Every structure is written in C-alpha cells, then in structure tokens.
Amino acid sequence: MMRAAIKGAMLAACLLIAVAVPARAALEADFKAAYAAAEAAEKEAGALRNQWITAEAQLKAAKQAADKGDFDTATASAREAEALAKASIFQATSEKERWKDAEIH
C-alpha cells in the first residue's frame, strides 16, 4: 500500500516536471524574442541619436528578471523597452522635419 502511494507520488512529480520544463522553455523563448526586438529597436533609436533612458532602463530590468528566471516579468519589461524605443524612433523621425512647420516670429 505504501509503495503504491510512493509510486503515485513519484509519477505525479515526474509529470509535473515534464509539463513545467517545456513551459519554462516557451517562456524563455518568448523573452528572447521580445528582448531581441527591443534591442533592435533601441539600436535603431541609437542610430538616430535619440535613445531614451527609460528604454535602456527597461532593457536592463528585463535582463535582470531573466537572470533570476522570472521570464514573465522579463518579457513584459522587454516589450515595454521595445515600445519606448519605437516611440523614440517616431519622435526622432517626426521632429526631423516638423520643426520647419513651426511658425517663427
């Protein structure tokens, strides 16, 4: 009877590990994709000489969370960094010409 309970517990533990490992790998893969996109956008912002400190801070936070194994937080931070970098790109490109539209007195 005790052996059956131990075997059942061992089987449950093995199944839990078998399910958790691919889920963690998927979370890590999501993070890596989000981080790569954020880095690319930040690099483009740098080429336009308009990097925002907030985007860089979010990239750093994403890396720190990933190093701790918190891929949900890391992915969210990486996506936020990408959004900020894209906003800085928009700012740089739109203001490049818009200043000419300003009325100077």
Residue by residue, pLDDT tens for the chain (105 residues) are 556 555 555 544 544 454 444 556 568 999 999 999 999 999 999 999 999 999 999 999 999 999 999 999 999 999 999 999 999 999 999 888 777 777 666
Cα end-to-end span (Å), the chain: 93
Residue range of the domain that includes 88? 26-95
pLDDT of residue 14: 47
Is residue 65 one of the residues assigned to a domain? yes
Task: Confirm whether pTM is higher than 0.75.
Answer: no
Q: Is residue 102 a part of any domain in this protein?
A: no
Long-range contacts: 38-41, Cβ < 8 Å, 24+?
38/62, 38/78, 38/79, 38/81, 38/82, 38/85, 41/81, 41/82, 41/85, 41/86, 41/89
Residue 20 lies in a domain: no
On whether residue 40 sits in a domain, the answer given is yes
Flag whether 104 is in a domain.
Answer: no
Residue 46 in domain: yes
Query: Does some domain include residue 67?
Result: yes
Tally of domains within the chain: 1
Supply the pLDDT for residue 4: 59
Q: What angle do CA 27, 73, 18 make, to 5 degrees?
A: 30
